[in-house]
Amino acid sequence: MTAPSHPRPQRMRTSVPAVLALGSNLGDREATIRAAVADLDAAAGIRVEQLSPLVETPALKLTGVDHHAPAYLNAVVVIDTVLGPHDLLDVVNAVEQRHGRVREERWGDRTLDIDIIDYDGRELDDDRLTLPHPRAWERGFVLAPWHSIRPDARLAGHGPIAVLLAATTDDVRPYPDSGATHHAARAEQFEADEDGGAG
């Protein structure tokens, strides 16, 4: 599978961890999420380290939970990346577009949604990106899969995700036949990218 098309990013020389949340409620949801994870792992400067089990949740709209809309499948991936946060966002947006994401309705149904939840514990707020994700602290469909693979993780500015998860009331259900997947793909290429800088 080829990497999504996007301009060559400027890469940092050392890798940092980041957490991405993926969701889909249209089409073949599981296939879309797994293909998107493969695309992320194939992108220059990104290595997927862990993929959480899938979970299923009712659709969340601007007015609240919508039980009439198709349910979402959600997952979290932990990555290592030599990309800066905005370059990572560019890759994320390209992967979304590759899988049919259309940005017409805020909080609308979608084939794929990818959010940067945490980037090396850093805080950022500009016209393109807010870190950590401003609503991650209250979203069970982010916290539950994240906690399943990194139970000791912390969300910058909010504390341990185990404590945050315990306070949520979201209806988060395990998805059948879903298991955590650990990735070590492309390690040699990733290290070569890291050693070579932005060349």
Residues acting as catalytic residues: 101, 110, 113, 115
How far apart CA 5 and CA 10 sit, in angstroms, is: 15
Nearest CA among 183, 150, 141, 137 for reference residue 42: 183
Pairing of strands 181-182, 173-174: unpaired
Backbone angles phi, psi at 130, to 5 degrees: -120, 130
Structure-block tokens of residue 88 = 């990572």
Backbone angles phi, psi at 172, to 5 degrees: -110, 120
Secondary structure in 3-state letters for 46-61:
EEEEEECCCEEECEEE
Check if the beta carbon of residue 157 is closer than 8 Å to that of residue 132.
Answer: yes
- 27-65 burial, b for 16+ CB within 10 Å, e for fewer? eebbebbbbbbbbbbbbbbbbbbbbbbbbbbbbbeeeee
